[in-house]
Chains A and B, each alone.
Chain A
């Protein structure tokens, strides 16, 4: 693991942590949350009683896009980019961190994290009163 800096936070205040959210103080190797949601708003009078199924919607089965190779290669595309760093100051400081609300597989992290790969898929459906 690459040498990390130390994170220093004076005051951390979080009001609402919900729906699989995390507040973490300390280092972490990786973070790979997945969120799938169907948001249904029914405007009609008859109420909502149906079961819903994720496989009914192609949105939840689409493969993820791949990064283009141009992002990891140098301008002429012949050699890879080698990144290195020196930490002249070994600390990252934040005075006050104030969060009102967190929801849906999110993370508040004070510390280092190796790899983050997050994905959220949300299908919204509105059922509107009236005739076709």
Chain B
């Protein structure tokens, strides 16, 4: 299939912009291709209501799971990651909650 585009006059009077943020682009000109990715994790998913600050260092710091070069679709790969690290996630979660309850008990006594 062939697509041919003829660019005639393109003239803009005024561009007024309040903010440009987070790996974004304002362009007056041509481009070949643009691809933009944005990942957000916001409350309530990341809301924490505990007497603990859950920001422990990864353990050990340099032994981190590498980002896999999967060609599968986004959610597939996300599920895959969670399945692969199910043990680790569960372990971390258990540890986190037991510490939290310990702290609570200590506070109460």
Contacts and interface: CB of A to CB of B under 8 A. Distances in A.
Interface of A: 2, 4-5, 7, 9, 21, 27, 31, 33-35, 37, 40, 42, 50-53, 55-59, 61-67, 74-75, 79-89, 91-128, 130-132
Nearest to B3: A83
> Which size bracket describes the interface of B in this complex?
35 or more
Contacts of B47: 126, 128
Nearest to A31: B25
B1 A79 contact: yes
Given A59-B41, A94-B28, A118-B36, A128 B68 contact: no
Contacts of A103: 19-22
B40 A124 contact: yes
Interface of B: 1-43, 46-51, 53, 55-58, 61, 64-74, 77-78, 81-82, 100, 104
Contacts, number: 256
Given A50-B55, A94-B12, A118-B36, A82 B1 contact: yes
B28 A7 contact: yes
Contacts of A58: 78, 81-82
A111 B29 CA distance: 5
8 contacts: A21-B20, A35-B23, A92-B10, A98-B17, A115-B31, A116-B33, A127-B53, A132-B104
